[in-house]
Each structure stands twice: as structure tokens, then as C-alpha cells.
Structure 1
Amino acid sequence: MFRNAFWVLLFISFHCLAENAVTQPPSPTELVASQTAVINDIEATSKRVVQMEATWEKTTSEMTRDLIQQQVVSDIRTTTRLVNHFLDQVKVINTPEAIKLGEEVVNAENRFFEARLTPASSDLRKLFEQYEKASADEQLLVLFNINDFYAYINWLQNERLDNLNLLKSWKVDTAAAQQELDQEITLYAEFMATYLRNNTRQKELLQTELKSLPADARSSLESKIATQDRLVRSAVANLKQIVIMMEEQGLPVEQYNELIFKTTGNLAEAVVNFDTLRTVIVGLWDDLIRWFKSNMGGMLSRLFLFAALMAGAILLARLVRRGISRAVTHKKARFSTLVQEFFINVGGNLVIIFGFLFALAQVGLDLTPVLTGLGVAGIVIGFALQDTLSNFASGMMILIYRPFDVGDFVEAGGVAGKVGKMSLVNTTIRTFDNQVFMVPNAKIWGETIKNITSERIRRVDMVFGVAYGDNVELVERILEEIVSNHPKILKTPEHIIRLHVLNESSVDFVVRPWVKTDDYWDVYWDITREVKVRFDREGITIPFPQRELHFYTKAPAELPGERVTIQRSDIGLRTVGEGEDGRA
């Protein structure tokens, strides 16, 4: 542990000595010698870079060019680090003589940077020309070199800005140099903005052309659009770097931020400030006004055409409904009311739907994605609405086989009542106590359907019981008179009155007259009431159920048991053979 502490203290001591050695200011003679060495290095680097730039122009291999460019940047950065080290020494001494030496070095470095910018700009233009002539595979590598040149030029400009700011801190007059640099940066930004607009416009034209091509011919054009998109994104990234430099110098950048925003559609891509937001908003408003003015005539004409076509479709739908109505309601057609309503509604709605799609196509809307989307949506909806589709299919079967119609009294789906209306999904049934049920068609079609009023005439089935002691002929004559005298009972088919069953407590007669379906309940209730009145008048008994109970009392062994019979009826119990007072 002592050894570790010793080494830590030794390391700290050497570190402090090293810092003292670095921060110790050089003598004036040493500073002059350092200045001479730095300037000589700048000149030597300049010669090497000029040679490499000449070699770069003669080389056609992109990989060799990339290596040369990397070597150029490496040599310049080495010289820049040497210059920065010398300038740090000048800042430490901070005397007029030292500052004078530093100013000479900064000016020499700036001249070196300016000399590098001219061939770099020329080489960048050549890369653009080479990019346009290159194949699709080569374009990507050329684009990498273009991006490297963007970064190289921006770095040179930033170094010049840093040198000018350093001279300003030394109270050196840099107005002329600053003005020249501002003009160069502004021209560079204008060039990049123009380049971005052209590439964006070219991309939009390619995308517009792509929409008009069939699917099998789009691959080559899609590759061009992808290439153009890479150029746009590269130009946007470089313009952002230029805007940052301009904003640091207080130059106007609002129009370039607006261009970045319009190109990317993302305000976060721009260098945001209040002036930029105001410029973007004003620009968007101006674009909207210009677009509205230039497209107002076309918009109004398209709206008028769309409205006229839709009006024609609605008028045609009415005519189609009227024609279908006449066809399906013809007496020879024999369609049910449900089928009539179905054909009328479906025919009219189809005309309106096709008219709407035709109107959209006439105003310039491409229906291909719309129809494709409807197809995909139909598949999704089909899986999600399986029960609804089952009801739809059942509704179609009901329309085809017509087990009932509107106004019929039915028993279906567990509900009994009058059919009010029907859609392809459900059927509305109103019960006899005026309750409304919407029954799914699948439930109706999947169970037994009882149509009470499907036929125009219906038989009324009634059973009347009389006592065993009553006269059969008299009962038959009374029932015959009641049925024959009722005005709503049909003569044909002929009614039936028969002795039907010798029941446990009664002799049962069946009465089966035929009536119109609408008169069923009226006849049923009238006959029932009249039978009760006539039977009472003629002294005929309508018996109630009776049951005899036999009780055996237990007697001594020497005595026989006594049997007691009790009759049970709806009015109580009594022993057979007893009088009303209970005595025999």
C-alpha cells in the first residue's frame, strides 16, 4: 500500500512539472523562431497539397481520390494544430510584439485556406458532373466524395471564421476580410440553395412520372428517385451547416431555413429562431395564396363538374328505382314486398355509388389506390364481421325463398308477431302486445319459421266438451246453427262438426270452420262466446274435470272392511251416496 501511494505521488509530481513546463511562456527569441517554423510549415504543406490536388484531378479511380483527399485533410489538420499551438503561446505572452507575430501567422494561414477553397470548389463541380455521368452503382461512391468535399469546404470556412474572430479579439481591423468572407459564405449558401431546389424539383418530376407508369415498369424510375433523394438529403445537411456559420456571423438565414423546412417538411430540421418562424409562416401563407389564385379556376370547374355528375347520378338513381319498382310490382312478377324493396334500394344505391366513383375519376382523382384500399378493407372487415356476413347471407336466402313477407304474422327466431320490415341483416317483428323485436336473419333462417298468415284462408280449430248425460243430437244441432249463422265463416271449404273424443270428464266435439285469415280471431272469439250462451240456454252442461277417490277403512279380523268412495271436483269433496247434509 505504501508503494502504491509512492507511485501516485510521483505521478502527480511529474504531471505538475509537465504542466509548468508547458505553461511556461517562451522567450521573444524562441517565439520568433517558432513563428518562422510555423510559416515554413504552412508553405511546405501548401506545396504538398498543391501536388496532391494536381494528382487528384488526373486520377479517375474514386478510391484513389478518396485516399488523396484524406491525406490532404490530414496534412492541413497537422499544420493547423501547429498554428494553434503557436497562437496559444502568443495568447500567454499577450504583448504587442507577440500579437504582431501571431497576426502574421493568422494571415498566412488564411491565405493558405483561401488558396485551398478555389481548387476545392472546382473539384466539387467536377464531382457533380461525374455524378451525372456515372452508373447507378458508381453514383453512391461519387456521392460519398461529394459529401466529403462539403465537409472539407465547410471546415476551411470555419477555420477562417475562427482566425478572424481571433484577430478581432486582438483589436485588429478585419472589416475588409470579414466582408469578403461574408460574401463568399453567402454565395456558397445561394449556390447550395439553388442546387437543393433543382434536385427537389427533379425528384418531384420523377415522382409525378412514376404515378403514370404501370407497376412492372417502375423499378428503374424508383432507383432514380432514390438517387435523387440522396442528393436532396445531402444538400439539406450541407445547407444546415452553412446556415449555422451564417447565423454565427449575424447574416440573414431566414430564407434558407424556410427552404429546408419546405424540403423536409420538418421544422426541427431548420435552425429555428423567431425570425425563422415568422419567415416560414409568411412563406406558407404566400404559397397558399399563390396556389389558391392559380388553382381557383380549376378547383371551381372541378367542383362544378363533380356536383353536376353527382346530380345526374342521383337523378338517374331515381329513374332506375322507378323503373325497377314498376318491374317488380307488376302483377305477373309475383315478387314479395321484401324482394321488391331489396331490388329497388340496391339498384338505386348502386347507381349512386358508381356515379360517385365516376365523378371522382372525372375530376382527376386516381381511383386505383382507392379501390385497392377498399379491397384490403373488405378483407379485414370480412374477418371482423363474420356474424354480420352470416346475417347477410341468411337475409339473401330469405329473399330468395320468401318464407314470409311484410305484414305476415310469423313465429320465427323465438318471436311471434307481425313482420314490419326487413333488411339484409335483421328483420323487425312487432308482437301482438306492440313490442318491437329486431331479430338477426341468421337466427330466423337457422330455426323453424311458422307463417301464420301466408295463406288467404285459414281453418279455425275449436273443441267443446259436454257432459255424458247430454243429448248428442241436440249438441250437434246447436253447433251447426251457430256455425252456419256466422257471416264471416266461408261456405267453401265446408266446415266440420264431429263428436271427436269420449274424454275422462266430457264428450268432446270438434268444430272446424274455414275463414279468411284476417277474420280468424274474430270468428274464434264469436263462436266461443255463442257456444257458451246457447249451451246455458239449452241446459247443456259444460263439465269440469272430476275424479273418484276410494278409501278403505281397516276393520277387525272378524269383520269385513267398509269401502268409502269420495268424488273430487272443482267445488269440493263429497262421499258417494250422501246427500247435501252428509246423510245417506
Structure 2
Amino acid sequence: MFESLIDFEALRSYFTLLVPKLATASLILLFTWLLWFSLSRVLQKIFKKTSFDLTLQKFLLTVSKITIMTIGIMTALGQVGINIASILASLGVVGLTIGFAARDTLSNIISGLFIFWDRPFVLNDLIEVKGMYGRVENITLRSTRIVTNEGKMLAVPNTTIINEVVASYTNFPHLRIEVEFTVGSNENLTKIRKILKNLVSSNDVYMQSPMCELLVDAINDYNLALIFRVWIDNERDHIRLRNQLIEDIYNTMLANKIEMPLETIQMAPFEVKVQK
């Protein structure tokens, strides 16, 4: 019954021809993987001897892998008998449909290429984008991975990186930190400047050039709002150093009996008489 429906001799001949092709295709894929593995090892050795930064290394490795794997897969498909030219022509027909369905993904990939090309930041930089702050862990073709101070991994779409203002805390060798605080309106600013200058001059983590500065931000009813600015050499440690500076300023003001008043509200009783 089945012999009348299926030509087993034709199937036997087809698989007899297909098996060698599959074996050849498998060998091509294996060779492609070995070629990529060997090339990646060679590139890594070259990177160690050159001054390429991690971002450029990542980009070169990604492009090399995609190129080699694409050529290998297309060659293997051709050995099996799949017409690559027909597939490419079909992609042209359905390209618009795929483009509309995956326009966000394609936009992120294009933005990722621009990030690799323009390099507004590199791996391990400390950046802030749309209120998100952290260290750049990885840059892929789809998203930029940022590790926050809380240990969270944020996958920010590359289109967001391209279209928003990105603040880098490590693109330049030095960084300025600011501390805002208040003192009594009758305090001597010259004395406070001298105290704070002595505070930072005795600590090597603060730079002496540019010099620190104390600015009056506002004159309030009960106090003076001040801003103390100082430059640090290790910009990657700016959060810890700023927190430490806040504590040091507070302790120094107390030790020198500098008044640091808070705005207060005094409530007085008020009797409301209701006429009958």
C-alpha cells in the first residue's frame, strides 16, 4: 500500500546524495567555528600589545564574529542545496514587512553602531543618562548595559543613548564635587573659607590646583546658603568622597563653633472669637 504512494527508491537516492552534503556542511560549520575561535585568540593577543581600549576591542570582535559566521552559514546552506540567491531575493520582497515589525530593534542596532563609532563613552566609564547613573558594563548592538551603585543591571536601549544627553564622569581626568550647606547670617565668611581651605589642604585626595572655592548661593532670613567646591583626582570615587566631605564639613563647623541654623517656624496661639 505504502509502496504505491511513496517512491522508496527515489527517497533512497535522495538521502544517499543528501548525506554527503550534510557532512560537508557540518564540516564547513565546524571549520567556521574553529576559524572564529583562532581569530579571536589572535585578536586578543594583538589587543594586549596595542593601545586599543575595551570598547574598540569589543566592536572589532563583534564585527569579526558576525562576518565570519554569516559567510560560514551561507556557504553551508549552499552545500546542502539551498539557493542563497533566492533567499536574498525573497528577503527583498518581505523586507518592508520585517522592517516595520522590527523597526525598534533595527533602530537600536544602528544606534549601537553609532555608539561604537562616535564613542561618547567607553567600557567601565561612569555615566548618567535620563537620571540613570552607573558604570558601563557592556555595549551590545541592541542596548548599553549599566551597573548602578545598588548592583542593578540596566539595559538601556541604544536609541535612548543616542537621542538623550549623556553625562560622563570619567571622560576627563579630574572632577569637581560640590557640597551645599548653611551657616548663621552673622558668621564670618573669611574665617569659614580659611577653615575649609585647611580642611582640604591636609588631605591628598583633594587637588590643590584648581583651588577650592566657597560661594554664597543665597542670603536667607535666618542663614547664608553656601556652596563649597573642590576638585578631586580620582573621579571614579566621587560619590564616596562627596559623602565624606559632607561629614568633614559638618564636624569642622561644629569644632570651630560655626553656627549652622535650620529654618524654623514658630507657632503662637491665636484665639478665634465666634459671634453669637
User: TM-score if structure 2 supplies the norm length?
Assistant: 0.81
Counterpart code for 1:497: E
Query: 1:462, 1:510 within 8 Å by CA — same for their partners in 2?
Result: yes
Query: 1:467, 1:543 within 8 Å by CA — same for their partners in 2?
Result: yes
Q: Quick one: higher RCO (CA 8 Å, sep 6+), 1 or 2?
A: 2
Counterpart code for 2:239: W
The one of 206, 209, 214 equivalent to 1:498 is: 214
Helix, strand or coil for the counterpart of 1:397? helix
Verify: 1:310 aligned to 2:29, yes or no. Answer: yes
In the alignment, which residue of structure 2 is the partner of 1:82? none
Verify: 1:418 aligned to 2:146, yes or no. Answer: no
RMSD: 2.8
Give the 3 Å change call, closer, same or farther, for CA 484–420 of structure 1 in structure 2: same
Instruction: Give the alignment of 1:326-345 within 5 angstroms.
Output: 326=45, 331-333=50-52, 335=53, 337=55, 339-345=56-62
Q: How far 1:320 moved relative to its partner?
A: 3.0
Query: 1:497, 1:509 within 8 Å by CA — same for their partners in 2?
Result: no
Query: 2:196, 2:249 within 8 Å by CA — same for their partners in 1?
Result: yes
Inter-partner Cα distance in structure 2 for 1:518 and 1:382: 41
Query: 1:463, 1:508 within 8 Å by CA — same for their partners in 2?
Result: yes
Verify: 1:385 aligned to 2:102, yes or no. Answer: yes
Q: Deviations over 1:480-524 (max 9, x none)?
A: 222122232234x33313353562233455432221112212221
Unaligned runs of 5+ in 2: 269-276
Q: How far 1:437 moved relative to its partner?
A: 3.2
Return the structure number with greater strand share: 2
User: How many residues were matched structurally?
Assistant: 266
Inter-partner Cα distance in structure 1 for 2:54 and 2:125: 11
Inter-partner Cα distance in structure 1 for 2:114 and 2:180: 39
Verify: 1:528 aligned to 2:246, yes or no. Answer: yes
Counterpart code for 1:498: L
Helix, strand or coil for the counterpart of 1:300? helix
In the alignment, which residue of structure 2 is the partner of 1:469? 186
Q: Which structure: larger Rg?
A: 1
% identity of equivalent residues: 25
Inter-partner Cα distance in structure 2 for 1:365 and 1:501: 73
Give the 3 Å change call, closer, same or farther, for CA 383–498 of structure 1 in structure 2: closer
Counterpart code for 2:31: G
Q: Deviations over 1:156-187 (max 9, x none)?
A: xxxxxxxxxxxxxxxxxxxxxxxxxxxxxxxx
Inter-partner Cα distance in structure 2 for 1:530 and 1:537: 10
The one of 255, 259, 262 equivalent to 1:541 is: 259
Inter-partner Cα distance in structure 2 for 1:409 and 1:332: 21
Unaligned runs of 5+ in 1: 1-277, 546-568, 575-584
In the alignment, which residue of structure 2 is the partner of 1:360? 77
In the alignment, which residue of structure 2 is the partner of 1:282? 3
Verify: 1:440 aligned to 2:154, yes or no. Answer: no
In the alignment, which residue of structure 1 is the partner of 2:235? 517
Inter-partner Cα distance in structure 2 for 1:340 and 1:413: 27
Give the 3 Å change call, closer, same or farther, for CA 472–365 of structure 1 in structure 2: closer
Inter-partner Cα distance in structure 2 for 1:497 and 1:365: 72
Inter-partner Cα distance in structure 2 for 1:354 and 1:292: 30
Return the structure number with greater helix share: 1
Q: How far 1:529 moved relative to its partner?
A: 1.0
Give the 3 Å change call, closer, same or farther, for CA 370–502 of structure 1 in structure 2: closer
Inter-partner Cα distance in structure 2 for 1:456 and 1:304: 56
In the alignment, which residue of structure 2 is the partner of 1:351? 68
Q: Deviations over 1:452-480 (max 9, x none)?
A: 33333211122343223334443233212
Q: How far 1:381 moved relative to its partner?
A: 1.0
Give the 3 Å change call, closer, same or farther, for CA 478–457 of structure 1 in structure 2: same
Verify: 1:373 aligned to 2:90, yes or no. Answer: yes
Q: Deviations over 1:261-320 (max 9, x none)?
A: xxxxxxxxxxxxxxxxx2xx13345x32x3455455533322222221111111112233
Instruction: Give the alignment of 1:55-66 within 5 angstroms.
Output: none
Helix, strand or coil for the counterpart of 1:433? coil
